A and B are shown apart, each in its own frame.
Chain A
Amino acid sequence: MKQLLFGLCCFLICNQVNAQGCSDAGFCSLGILKTNAPSTSKKYSLTIGANYGSGEQSTNTFNPYLEYAVRLNNRISGQLKMTAVYASGFLGSTFNVGDILGFINYAVKTNNNNRLGLLSGIKIPLSHSNDKNDEGKPLPLDYQSSIGTFDIIEGINYIIKEKWELNAGIQIPVIHKNKNTFFPDEYTDPRITNFSATNNFKRKSDALLRMGRYFYFKQSSITLKPNILAIYHLGEDSYENRLGNRERIRGSDGLTVNAGIIATKRFRNENDLELIIAAPFVVRDIRPDGLTRSVVANIQYRFRF
């Protein structure tokens, strides 16, 4: 175990490649697809959290969120999550609300050894993905608080003998409300060539697969879950060029693989503190959606009542 953790830490510290972090603050950070909360007698929880990511051309993003969850019975629970993003980089800085995510978890099978859960949800964008900098110039999606799509999210979670966890999911954009108007040629800074044009951007679906292993430290009430997360972007995204024609963004499809670790400390009052650190080691060639991260760190505190 120590060697595993040491190896993972070394990997996370050394790995400075850029890659997709997650999908639009979406399904890889949702409910049972992220962590399987331990059983509790309390019906409600309110979670306050934030994550920090370092992205393309050192664009820093700070992403606070608020999540409210209710356990309706032993099998069904619902969650509502709202995000916001502060982004800062050489093009300027922005702050805006991001998305509202609503989803339902259903526990299909509960016994002492294995557990199967299903997740179904939606993502509603709260912005048009067209925030500008102080000069009024359009900014790439790396600076936007949302991709601007209404998405359907479906997922499945399987825990084997309380040790191994497998997740699979899909996130499908169904309505595009993206009004981004960014063209890199409106800037003269040479670093701008790292950003793709995203005028009236349209995004394809993502599929997720994650495998994790639980390690329990009962004396300190800490659980560790190192995990490998693979996200496959199922098609090439597109944008509208200056002549009003839609163009595909070559190389924007493909695989991203992240390694991460989730640490959860549970307190006597059943509240918990969760820390996540993750970094990618396989990346897509082009990542116009602005979800590029070299490393992501997340902290959250959950109140149960």
Chain B
Amino acid sequence: MFGIIQSSNSCAYKSLIQDNMKPIIYFLAAATILILACKKETTSTRPLNEIPNSTAMAVDSGSFSNGPYGSVSGKAKIYKTGNNYELALENFSSSNGPDLKVYLSKEKQPVNFVNLGSLKSTSGNQVYPIPSSVNVKDYSFALIHCQQYNHLFGFAPLKP
């Protein structure tokens, strides 16, 4: 008899739990649908062909090597026009990522750096202005860096 009562109580308890859980399950199902609807962020893959000013003079340059999280090739060159500097990526190619930025950095892993902006494209020739307050001689590396996840995709040591 005790077994029957226990079983009966157990059924009632299960039923109560099931009734209470239903709305939560519906809520979580709707939430999952919304989460799955998210889109992935990526850098443009359209090849670019930007070129520095024709009067610009190359001062530092280096070739890209792969970082721990990506494959990057091509050259990084700093050009000077008057008192203005810009960084050119030439014959450039990079694996894609969710939040790729171009940095001038004092170290291979960015601690002291200048964020030149979002990587415009994963391939082609690209030019990035360097803020006038920056002394380019203080920075030894051009980096392709995923800012959101702090992942280094590639680096180029800059030398005269």
Binding site for B on A (CB under 8 A): 44, 46, 66, 68, 70, 80, 82, 84, 94-97, 100, 126-128, 130-132, 135-138, 179, 181, 183, 185-186, 199, 242-244, 305
Contacts and interface: CB of A to CB of B under 8 A. Distances in A.
Contacts of A244: 112-115
B2 interface: no
B24 interface: yes
Interface stretch (B36-44, B49-57, B72-80): B36-44
Contact of A136 (B23, B38, B43): B43
Interface of B: 20, 23-24, 26-27, 30-31, 34-35, 37-39, 41-44, 99, 101, 112-118, 131, 133-134, 147-148
A179 B27 contact: no
B124 to A, nearest CB: 14
B123 to A, nearest CB: 13
A128 B37 CA distance: 15
A19 to B, nearest CB: 28
Contact of B35 (A126, A128, A179, A199): A126
B148 A97 contact: no
B41 A136 contact: yes
A132 B114 contact: no
A128 B118 contact: no
27 contacts: A44-B20, A66-B31, A68-B24, A70-B20, A80-B27, A82-B34, A94-B39, A97-B34, A97-B35, A97-B38, A128-B148, A130-B148, A135-B44, A137-B118, A138-B118, A179-B99, A179-B147, A181-B99, A181-B101, A181-B147, A183-B117, A186-B117, A242-B114, A242-B131, A243-B131, A244-B112, A305-B23
B118 A95 contact: no
B148 A179 contact: yes
A181 B41 contact: no
Given A44-B20, A94-B39, 18 more contacts: A46-B26, A80-B27, A82-B30, A84-B37, A97-B35, A97-B38, A100-B31, A130-B99, A135-B44, A138-B118, A179-B99, A179-B147, A181-B148, A186-B117, A243-B115, A243-B134, A244-B113, A305-B23
